[in-house]
Amino acid sequence: MRSSYLDYAMSVIVGRALPDVRDGLKPVHRRVLYAMHEAGLQPNRPYRKSANVVGGVMGNFHPHGDSAIYDTLVRLAQDFAMRNPLVDGQGNFGSIDSDPAAAMRYCITGATRVATTKGTLRIDSIVPGARSDSDNDIELELLDRLGKPVRASKLFHSGSHPTLRLRTEMGHELTGTENHPVLCLVDMAGVPLLF
């Protein structure tokens, strides 16, 4: 029994845990990159949600937990973890200071206001009555963090989730879900710009 277990443990270490000496990739790295290639995710194509990639890898190539696959995808996009990142990630993929990456999906509350080319509006008013777990087609011009117009074509309603509320000493208030960090810039006048 002991030798059988040691043989199995060594095969796992050699086959899965140790990077290949030829390119430094583990099998899960190869599976993520291959799944992205098969899905047509190329540098000249639009970004897709990480959950889409993780689901494809888990369903077709790597029948293990989604967190291991997502952690691999995150690492492949971190310029501080790899000399040459193999994935171009859009969004929060963690920091060198051990800040974790955002969840595979991105959640905000219905009261969140978005900046459009015609002013701000609550996100829950973009598609009134949107059902939970629904993808909704929209045609909306938003402003990015630099004030440049960008086109939005989809709104995903992920359902209701517990939220936390933060209030500063100066009276600013923020509501959000537990697994999403707050990103803000402070301009020269000291006013935080949330995005």
pLDDT at res. 36: 92
What is the band of 191 on the pLDDT scale with cuts at 50, 70, 90? low
- CATH H-level, domain 113-194: superfamily: Hedgehog/Intein (Hint) domain (2.170.16.10)
DSSP letters for 139-187 = EEEEE-TTS-EEEEEEEEE-----EEEEE-TTS-EEEEETT----EEE-
Residue 195 has pLDDT above 60, yes or no: no
Task: Report pLDDT digits (tens) over 28-67.
Answer: 899 999 999 998 988 888 777 788 888 889 888 877 778 8
Task: Report pLDDT digits (tens) over 112-139.
Answer: 778 889 888 888 888 888 887 777 889 9
Sequence letter at residue 120: T
pLDDT at res. 32: 93
- Point out the residues that are catalytic: 106
Top mean pLDDT of 2-6, 15-19, 32-36, 190-194 is at: 32-36
Q: Report residue 125 CA to chain centroid gap.
A: 24
pLDDT at res. 9: 80
Tokens describing residue 106 = 């991105």
Average pLDDT, the chain: 80
140 conformational bin, left if phi > 0, alpha if psi -120 to 50, beta if neither: beta
Percentage of the chain lying above the pLDDT 90 cut: 9
pLDDT at res. 55: 86
What is the band of 185 on the pLDDT scale with cuts at 50, 70, 90? low
Average pLDDT over residues 174-184: 63
Task: Report pLDDT digits (tens) over 97-114.
Answer: 877 777 775 556 666 778
Average pLDDT over residues 152-178: 77
User: Which residue would you say has higher pLDDT here, 195 or 121?
Assistant: 121
Average pLDDT over residues 145-162: 79
DSSP letters for 83-135 = SS-SS---S----TT-PPPPPSS----TT-EEEETTEEEEGGGTSTTPPTTEE
pLDDT at res. 178: 64
Domain with CATH 2.170.16.10 in the chain: 113-194
Question: Among 150, 160, 173, 190, which residue's Cα sits nearest to residue 47?
Answer: 150
